[in-house]
Amino acid sequence: MTLTTERLRLRPLETNDFAAVHKYCSDIGNLRYMLFGPNGEDATRAFIADRISKTAMTPRTNYAFAACLKESGVLIGSCELDVKGEQGELGWILDKDYWKNGYGTELAAELIRFGFSELGLHRIYATCDAENYGSYRVMERNRMRREGLFIKGRPTRDGWRDELLYARLKEEWLK
């Protein structure tokens, strides 16, 4: 399954995506707010294999995608919608070379549309490090509402950090 936006093509991750995925999964600057990494080669291969296997499950509960520029096909990140009953959890990571171009907002909007219109989800949510301005702005630009602040609720390489929770209901999306 492939989803498209104005500038992006979201397609299934493939094992031959290793070089592009490893570029952003092994760079500590890219992973400043992530719960994993920096990855060695084996960890990146495991990351890709995990996303591929989750996407192949029946019934399908996870939709993982490589985020590629539509014009050139260059892989700039990955994203997923993890379905848990009638709710979905968004996640994404972009190569820092492509930050601040609106790609995160665009891919999140498409995953939200897909979750509500094609999967019939009731609620979609996402979390991020409370200091990760880029991620919580992606959520806010997609009209997700801040529902929670979890004090020291996020384990990181540096200890425990605050975590934000954002969500949007299908009824809000339909308005």
The whole-number mean pLDDT for each consecutive block of 10 residues of the chain, a chain of 175 residues, reads 96 93 87 77 90 78 94 96 95 94 97 97 96 95 97 88 96 94
Question: What was the pLDDT predicted at 58?
Answer: 67
Residue 43, pLDDT score? 87
Query: Are 169 and 86 within 8 A, CB to CB?
Result: no
Least Cα distance to 41 among 14, 22, 15, 20 occurs for: 22
Establish if 150 belongs to a structural domain.
no
* pTM given for the model: 0.93
* Size of the chain in residues: 175
d(CA 144, CA 126): 9
In-domain check, residue 135: no
CATH number at residue 80: 3.40.630.30
Give the containing element (helix H, strand E) for 51: helix 41-56
Q: How far apart are CA 20 and CA 73, in angstroms?
A: 12
Any domain includes 20: yes
Domain ranges, residue 46: 3-127
Would you say residue 114 lies in a domain?
A: yes
Q: Decide if 101 is inside a domain.
A: yes
pLDDT value of position 105: 97
Residue 103: its pLDDT value, please?
97
**Cα 79 from Cα 169, distance rounded (Å):** 20
Count of the separate structural domains present in the chain: 1
In a domain, 23, yes or no: yes
